Structure 1
Amino acid sequence: MIVRAFAFLAGLAILVATAQAQVRVQLTRDSSLKERLKLATGTTDDEGRVWVGYAIRRLMERNSYVSTGWMVNGRMRRTTTLEDVLAKAGDPEAMPTEHSDSRILRGIERVEKRLAILVRYNEGDVDRVEFQTTDATYDSSRTMFVWIGEARDEESAAFVVELFDGQSDRKVLEHIVTVAALHDDAVPVVGPFLRRVLAGAYDGKVRRAAAYGLGGQPSRESLVALSSAARTTTEESLQRDAVWALSQLDMPGAVDTLIALALEAPSSKLRRTAVMAVAQCAAEKTLETLTNVVENDPDTDVRRSAVWGLSQLRDGAGVPSLIALARSHPNPTVRKEAVHALGQSKDERAFQALIEIVRK
């Protein structure tokens, strides 16, 4: 391995050359993100390509890892991570996550991690956008990779949003939207951008990424945008994701919106999706809503979903309702679903009720 160090403007640049790839850490102090990106694109491989990466910081669970196309919660098999590569290349900001200080946020221990945003320039134009936590596996197939350090959320989000309007490739657009949503929800440009994409005439997967992102943007505007998308779109996958995103909004009114969809939406598929989302919400009205659906919805599949929802309530809150349904509901499909749900329950009340039902 050849290591060469040299001064670069007012910053630091270190090049690590391997048989597979070259990794350069190029930290120019007191420069904007745009200036650093422009500077980094001056180095390319033989095909005129260069990957440029930088990081923003996020609070995440210690054993939570993100990379383009996947997310893992739990311990990963030990591999060469991006943080390993950067540390070897001499990045003074390299940060082993296992040594990070932790904080308790909403009852969950979280650590500060670096989230890398990776952009490939091909003859000066962006043709790929990827992302990963730096403690996830590094893709060593990148023949030229320049790391420019860390960026503030505000300037990173502005750069990412600006990238979007110059792209036409569906996958690149989808990744840009996902990356934008990974920024702090307090950054002003992110929410309006995601709402614009969700309401726009873009590919369904791009709009779905915007819906997912809005689920982490608790605001009245997000609530209205997601509710509108759920009610008006004709694309089932987008409708489903908009409802899921509503269930993730940690704000007043989100659960009530889901309940209204579960009870009143004209589409049975939308009602069914909303019922399943309501079942995942720890709200006072959840039991009442699911019971209402079982008793009154005209669609049997929606009723079945509500029975399933009752079985998912925390601390066995739905068990008494399931027992009553299994014993005496006039719809045989509902009775069958209730019996099945009781059979899957570990609640002693469910076991005793099943014995009584079988003996009759």
Structure 2
Amino acid sequence: MRILTTAVVIAALAVAPAIHAQQPEVLHAQVSTQSAGNLASTIDSLEHQTGPLWIGYAVPTTQKFSAGWGNDQVAYLENDHNSGRQSTGDEAKQTFDHTNILFRIEAGAITKLRFESPNRQLDAGGLRFVWLTNANPNESVQLLNTLASAKTESHLRDSAIFAISIHAAPSATTTLIELASPGNDLRLREKSAFWLANQRGHDGLSAIEHLSRTDADPEFREKLAFDLTLSKEPEALTELIRMAHEDASPDVRKRAQFWMAAKGGKLVTANLTDAAENDPNEQVRRSAVFALSRLPAPDAVTQLIHVAETNKDPIVRRQAVFWLGQSQDPRALDYLTHLLKQ
């Protein structure tokens, strides 16, 4: 029995890679299959063939995702369709550890980039469809890096950056770090940092922390404050708090205050109260009061009353009173009524 069980396990492991990269079902297409070989060279050779066509291959992804990326079981690559067999409840619950990456080639260039769940049928609208087997994930990252770095349409570049971010290959993280580095176009940097925080776990967060501390562009650092809210790593809130206290730019400190209130809630009340009292910039002190007003009830009113009663800056105190006036909490009305009677 043990020998039989072992044989079954070995057999299962042997077929697992084939299941992992299973070719999708393609409708209305002239379908062919070939080895990916050197992926960039293969794509380049296909780009020089006559007529538009689709190319696809599978790569492992960072996290499992649902088949419900679209409502229809059929993905129409050439045209939008509102009809199609709807996914059943069981299909919607399916998750996969890989995705199908699809390129549309026309006139010697990639013109479209799509990602589809492995269980979806693909309708190629009568065009050729070439499925590439055994694609190397690192070569896929490099191919997408070239596409993202090229002077191309923003939607194609943005899709390439996202596609890099979902690759399980560690090279995806280093590639996104390079794309987010100084010297690149600001939009390219911002998109790359966004997906570093969103998809690349602890290593992605470490890269964002480094950029938030060393990058010379305050406009870019403002964007990083939001990116930190996307990270699932607990250290992200710590970095937001540091930015709100220490960043050289008042605008960055204000942005960090807002997002740390949204992410940290009552965990950051002491930090916001301290900023409202001690930040050297008046606009930042006022911004801290606004961030306090964004805290969940009842903490917002509690902290605003505290600032209105104790802050040494009359402008900040008036700001706290203003935001108390916007609150629906009965305690805010009671406090304002008390002030009017004085």
TM above 0.5, one fold? yes
* Distance (Å, rounded) in 2 between the aligned partners of 1:206 and 1:327: 46
With over 3 angstroms needed to count, the CA separation of the structure-2 counterparts of 1:283 and 1:324, relative to structure 1, is closer
Q: Give the match for residue 352 of structure 1.
A: 334
* Distance (Å, rounded) in 1 between the aligned partners of 2:193 and 2:102: 22
With over 3 angstroms needed to count, the CA separation of the structure-2 counterparts of 1:320 and 1:34, relative to structure 1, is same
8 Å Cα contact 2:176/2:192 also seen in 1: yes
Matched, 1:83 2:74: yes
8 Å Cα contact 2:31/2:131 also seen in 1: yes
Q: Give the match for residue 49 of structure 1.
A: 52
8 Å Cα contact 1:25/1:146 also seen in 2: yes
Matched, 1:241 2:241: no
1:143 Cα offset (Å): 8.1
Aligned with 1:276 (options 258, 265, 268): 258
Q: Give the match for residue 121 of structure 1.
A: 105
Q: Which has the higher contact order (CA 8 A, sep 6+)?
A: 2
Q: Give the match for residue 163 of structure 1.
A: 144
Q: 1:205-249 deviations in whole A, cap 9, x for unaligned?
A: 111111101112222x43342233223434444222222222322
Q: 1:186-217 deviations in whole A, cap 9, x for unaligned?
A: x3122111112212521111111111011122
Q: What SS does the corresponding residue of 1:313 show, helix, strand or coil? A: coil
* Distance (Å, rounded) in 2 between the aligned partners of 1:102 and 1:12: 19
With over 3 angstroms needed to count, the CA separation of the structure-2 counterparts of 1:60 and 1:159, relative to structure 1, is closer
With over 3 angstroms needed to count, the CA separation of the structure-2 counterparts of 1:129 and 1:329, relative to structure 1, is same
Q: What SS does the corresponding residue of 1:201 show, helix, strand or coil? A: coil
* Distance (Å, rounded) in 1 between the aligned partners of 2:124 and 2:25: 21
Q: What SS does the corresponding residue of 2:114 show, helix, strand or coil? A: strand
Q: Give the match for residue 210 of structure 1.
A: 192
Q: Give the match for residue 310 of structure 1.
A: 292
Q: What SS does the corresponding residue of 1:130 show, helix, strand or coil? A: strand
Q: Give the match for residue 179 of structure 2.
A: 197
Q: Which amino acid aligns with 2:164?
A: A
* Distance (Å, rounded) in 2 between the aligned partners of 1:318 and 1:61: 37
Q: Which amino acid aligns with 2:189?
A: R
Report matched runs for 1:18-57 at 5 Å. 23=29, 28=33, 31-32=35-36, 38=42, 48-53=51-56
With over 3 angstroms needed to count, the CA separation of the structure-2 counterparts of 1:178 and 1:236, relative to structure 1, is farther
Q: Which amino acid aligns with 1:159?
A: S
The two structures have a TM-score, normalised by structure 2, of: 0.70
* Distance (Å, rounded) in 2 between the aligned partners of 1:43 and 1:209: 27
The higher radius of gyration belongs to 2
The two structures have a TM-score, normalised by structure 1, of: 0.67
Q: Give the match for residue 162 of structure 2.
A: 178
8 Å Cα contact 2:301/2:332 also seen in 1: yes
The runs of 5 or more residues in structure 1 that have no matched partner are: 1-9, 17-22, 67-77, 87-93, 104-110, 135-139
Q: What SS does the corresponding residue of 1:165 show, helix, strand or coil? A: helix
8 Å Cα contact 2:228/2:236 also seen in 1: yes
* Distance (Å, rounded) in 1 between the aligned partners of 2:222 and 2:173: 20
With over 3 angstroms needed to count, the CA separation of the structure-2 counterparts of 1:122 and 1:338, relative to structure 1, is same
Q: 1:66-124 deviations in whole A, cap 9, x for unaligned?
A: 9xxxxxxxxxxx8xx583538xxxxxxx9927443549xxxxxxx66986634232344
* Distance (Å, rounded) in 1 between the aligned partners of 2:146 and 2:314: 54
8 Å Cα contact 1:83/1:96 also seen in 2: no
With over 3 angstroms needed to count, the CA separation of the structure-2 counterparts of 1:246 and 1:42, relative to structure 1, is closer
Q: What SS does the corresponding residue of 2:164 show, helix, strand or coil? A: helix
8 Å Cα contact 2:194/2:227 also seen in 1: yes
Aligned with 1:146 (options 129, 147, 163): 129
Identity of aligned residues (%): 24
1:183 Cα offset (Å): 3.4
